[in-house]
Structure 1
Amino acid sequence: MRTDLTRQRFHVLMTADAVGGVWSYAVDLAGGLVEAGVGVTLAVLGPDPSAAQAARAEAAGCRLVRTGLPLDWMATDPGAVTGAGEALARTARAVGADLVHLHSPAFAAAADFPVPVVAVCHSCVATWWAAAGTGPLPGDLAWRAELVARGCRRADALLAPCRAFADATARAYGLSRPPRAVHNGRRQLAPVLASVASPGTDPVPFAFTAGRLWDRAKNCAGLDRVAARTVLPVRAAGPVTGPNGERVRPVHLTVLGELDEAGIAAELSGRPIFVSLARYEPFGLAVLEAAQAGCALVLSDLPTFREVWADAALFVEADDADAVAGLLDGLAADPDRRARLGRAAQERAGRYTVAAATASVLDVFEALRAGPGIRAARQGAAA
């Protein structure tokens, strides 16, 4: 449903990254804003969206702009990121935006935006490195972290997908107060009938994961070790090679490649045990999709996962392959327990809707539009 531009409440320029989960977040939020009477221009940085992605964005009612600008984590130097921020500021002026919603604070580091800026801390190199790396932050990541720090101080409001990650972000960048926690919401994927299940029977059990398999923080290598020890098939959807050249070569997982929404829905329709052994996950939209489908959840014991899923998941040590394999095989043999866990996950997932996320983001937008006094408060700024 498209917003009537003559009647819209206000207009938001929102940036997006078509490579990972930020895309789902942005399109779902944009659709929620459009339904609330807000105009949205979605500016895509980095690789262009696929035809299916573009069609979904346009169906959500927003105007799609392919900028050709670099993503902060794929840029070759600081000037590329600050230049992208300046280009976005010009775009905000050109489209008559009343607010700017950035998917990374780094783009606010040096740009002179004409309107209030909300920056979302979906993830960042400093917190990622703390989970996935060792030793001091490498030079190629240090300048990126510095841009994020500067952007956090210049944005008018900061958001994060959960309290645990908001706190981690505040620690990483020395913020006097953490970003506002707004749990992500996800539109439920269209159901696809499971070909493996007959009416009245329990689906053939298997384990499933989805995400950027090439990202070392997703710990695909750890899940591959689990797959070598379990009798349960472990299926993995997602790219094994990243746009930055990083690559993973699993041996024991059944690698499905990149799946579109229909492909993911088809996998989830079999109600697999969804497993993530990630070492770093600010929220986890793939987990939410699995929970919406009624899958039992087995997740690494991260503060973010604990906050979001509480008692609706089983938590494991990511490096204990034997224990994880034993747990998965035990669940495969216990359909009643799987069903109980699936119902608990599905009930918990009911908290994380697009409507709830949209309402919280609209609260932030309206506060910033209320007057310069609120804007000057610089939510989340450092002392």
Structure 2
Amino acid sequence: MTTDTVGGVWTYTVELCRALIKHDIEVHLAAMGSWPSEAQEKEAFHLPNVVLYKSDYKLEWMQDPWEDVQKAHKWITSIYQTVHPDLVHFNNYAHIDNFWSCPIVTVFHSCVQTWWQAVKGTGAPASWNRYTGIVKNSLNTSDVVVSPTESLLKKAVDTHNISCRTEVIHNGREINFSKEIEKENFILCMGRIWDEAKNLKSLSGIAKNLPWPVYIAGNNTDPNTGVKVEIENVHFLGSLSPNEAKDLMARAAIFASPTKYEPFGLAILEAAKAGCALALSNIDTLVELWDATATFFDPENPRETENKILALIEDKNYREQLSAKSKERSKRYSLQKMGEEYAALYKRLIVSRKTDLNQLSSSL
């Protein structure tokens, strides 16, 4: 299995590996993007079914990645030839080899083209053509393409003309908020302020009009320019540890996400499990997951966003109703269910491949 150390794919991967323990599945985990942090190495070390392989090879969406992509391909191939796995599970693109004899699962977490369509309203520029060709080839060379939502899968199929088998398996998260903490009057958001997809800058026009403070778990300094963003009534908390983020979610009355692009949203799932009332962008993936359990707003319409959040602030009963509904809905997206569905998929593919090989051998 491959993983990405610089984004949410790492959290997904660690949770999936943990869920696969009870299914007696051993995972040889190839990490790319950057060297794993000390905390990430500890996470992997404490999983008894995981062997971690470390690298800092650039991923295909990074700037000028192609030399690293070639090196990573050779590295992954050498791991494959050493381990002889029953199945390969890719969480990125660009490294499939046609001579591999085992089944291949590729998970479509996101891609630059679908990001560009959602955030910019158009396809990515021609400079991304090489990347797009590699993504398309990787998806169509797989035995199965998995996506965490139907909506994202449809976009992937339309964008990359996927012709192989596809399947939806929701992401899952194991996070317990067993201790009841009284909710406090503040709004929590998560993300980097300069991330166009997260659209947190849209808060600049409305935060000052809200009677409750807004807290953003994320850095407010643009790494490209070094410029700090300051917004009235918004408090930037910087990067938080998992325990610090969990504590904030347990205390926050409202969790807001004005995002323009969200393939799944593990932070939203965590907030729902924490009993936050959800105020979310009215985009396909989030409506699919949280319909009738959250209040939705047009992320391009600041007045509507403000009014929907104000309605939550001003009506405690409404907040508590949504909180209860989203908490109940969150049970659908459990770690156990995710593990069971991936393990079942792996088994079906492995059995099918063995059957095909036996039939081929018999015919010869």
Matched, 1:353 2:334: yes
Distance 1:262 1:191, change over 3 A: farther
Distance 1:191 1:239, change over 3 A: farther
Deviation per residue, 1:52-96 (Å, 9 max, x gap)? 222222223222221222122115144532442332122122234
Of 24, 30, 35, the residue aligned with 1:37 is 24
| Superposition deviation, residue 244 in structure 1 | 7.8
Of 295, 302, 323, the residue aligned with 2:276 is 295
Structure 2 distance, partners of 1:192, 1:106, is: 44
| Superposition deviation, residue 112 in structure 1 | 4.6
Deviation per residue, 1:124-178 (Å, 9 max, x gap)? 0110010112544223322211110010111121100011100010000112367
- 2:214 alignment partner in structure 1: 234
Partner amino acid, structure 2, of 1:128: W
Counterpart contact for 2:117–2:123, Cα < 8 Å: no
Partner amino acid, structure 2, of 1:211: G
Residues 11-90 of structure 1 correspond to what in structure 2 (within 5 A)? Answer: 14-61=1-48, 62-90=50-78
Structure 2 distance, partners of 1:182, 1:313, is: 22
Counterpart contact for 1:184–1:357, Cα < 8 Å: yes
Residues 164-243 of structure 1 correspond to what in structure 2 (within 5 A)? Answer: 164-176=151-163, 179-189=166-176, 197=182, 203-240=183-220
Distance 1:375 1:186, change over 3 A: farther
| Superposition deviation, residue 228 in structure 1 | 3.3
Distance 1:214 1:313, change over 3 A: same
Q: Indicate the percent of aligned positions where both proteins have the same amino acid.
A: 30
| Superposition deviation, residue 250 in structure 1 | 4.8
Counterpart contact for 2:5–2:36, Cα < 8 Å: yes
Deviation per residue, 1:323-365 (Å, 9 max, x gap)? 2223223322322211111110000000001111111111221
Matched, 1:144 2:131: yes
Distance 1:214 1:115, change over 3 A: farther
- 1:335 alignment partner in structure 2: 316
Of 130, 144, 151, the residue aligned with 1:157 is 144
Structure 1 distance, partners of 2:356, 2:333, is: 28
SS of alignment partner, residue 28 of structure 1: helix
341-350 or 252-261, which moves further after superposition?
Answer: 252-261
Distance 1:334 1:224, change over 3 A: same
SS of alignment partner, residue 205 of structure 1: strand
Matched, 1:285 2:266: yes
In structure 2, stretches of 5+ residues that fail to align are 358-364
- 2:80 alignment partner in structure 1: 92
SS of alignment partner, residue 332 of structure 2: coil
- 1:260 alignment partner in structure 2: 241
In structure 1, stretches of 5+ residues that fail to align are 1-13, 198-202, 377-383
Structure 1 distance, partners of 2:230, 2:79, is: 42
Counterpart contact for 1:213–1:248, Cα < 8 Å: no
Counterpart contact for 1:229–1:321, Cα < 8 Å: no
Counterpart contact for 1:309–1:345, Cα < 8 Å: yes
Matched, 1:370 2:347: no
275-284 or 319-328, which moves further after superposition?
Answer: 319-328
- 1:270 alignment partner in structure 2: 251
Matched, 1:102 2:90: yes
Structure 1 distance, partners of 2:326, 2:99, is: 43
Structure 2 distance, partners of 1:178, 1:371, is: 13
Partner amino acid, structure 1, of 2:209: R
Structure 1 distance, partners of 2:169, 2:119, is: 24
Deviation per residue, 1:97-122 (Å, 9 max, x gap)? 222111123332x5754532211000
Structure 2 distance, partners of 1:240, 1:117, is: 40
| Superposition deviation, residue 255 in structure 1 | 1.2
Structure 2 distance, partners of 1:183, 1:244, is: 34
SS of alignment partner, residue 68 of structure 1: coil
73-82 or 90-99, which moves further after superposition?
Answer: 73-82
Deviation per residue, 1:14-43 (Å, 9 max, x gap)? 111122211110000001112211111222
SS of alignment partner, residue 206 of structure 1: strand
Distance 1:233 1:362, change over 3 A: same
Q: What is the aligned length? A: 355
Structure 2 distance, partners of 1:116, 1:218, is: 35
Counterpart contact for 2:217–2:240, Cα < 8 Å: yes
Counterpart contact for 2:2–2:30, Cα < 8 Å: yes
- Give the TM-score, by structure 1 length: 0.85
Say what the alpha-carbon RMSD is for the aligned residues. 2.5
Structure 1 distance, partners of 2:70, 2:355, is: 26
Counterpart contact for 1:235–1:256, Cα < 8 Å: yes
Of 313, 319, 322, the residue aligned with 2:294 is 313
